[in-house]
Amino acid sequence: MWAVEKKTTIILIRHGETDWNLAGRWQGSTDIPLNDTGRQQARMLARRLKANRWPIDAIFSSDLQRAAETAKIVAEKLHLPVQLDAQWRERGLGILEGLTRREISEKYPYLVLPRTFIEAPESESYASLRRRVVLALEEILRQHDGQTVAVVSHSGTLRVLISYILELPEKIYAPFSLRGNTGLSRIIIDGDLAQLNLLNDTSHIEWLGSID
């Protein structure tokens, strides 16, 4: 599936919290900024990555501002530039953007199926999202063979990529959570084998401490 000459590490990061996250509203491609909590989460994440001495060589990010600002906060701590790439955007959710799950269930009950990705009118298809995110990862692997790369993106986008790497059935809403804002997932790619060895780790925001 993959082909790298040297072991390559990809650290997948969900963006910090937004007001819509807090309200349970589906954001999709709507460009919602971080809230103050989200910025604090990003600072805690940055401190963790620096303290762990993870040898991050490059940082990529979705160009939506909730991801881009998260990436910028991390990048400033690690003294790295951020490379914005629209391929890492969240999937457009069409008529569902801005609604809560309860509102979706009430207005569009025919769309809500258990363990299945919702494909609403005007939304990007599952196939389209999977194709672009796999291409985005392949491009990073070509440019950064043997390095460690951080990618700041969105829960839906990262869920599809991780499901693809785990070779799970298409369109199935896999039984793992990426709801933790600034959660870390880590993929190790060695030759043609990709393995997930960390999933949605939010330990950096699960304790109280001073933020520098």
User: How far, in Å, CA of 163 to CA of 144, rounded?
Assistant: 22
Catalytic, 90? Answer yes
User: Would you call 183 helix, strand, or coil by DSSP?
Assistant: coil
Catalytic, 15? Answer yes
User: How far, in Å, CA of 15 to CA of 205, rounded?
Assistant: 13
User: How far, in Å, CA of 87 to CA of 200, rounded?
Assistant: 21
Burial of residue 114 (number of CB atoms within 10 Å: 0-12, 13-18, 19+): exposed
Catalytic residue among 17, 69, 90, 124: 90
Reduced DSSP (H G I as helix, E B as strand, rest coil) percent helix, strand, coil of the chain, to 5: 40, 20, 40
Q: What's the start-to-end Cα distance of the chain, in Å?
A: 41
- What are the residue numbers of the active site? 15, 90
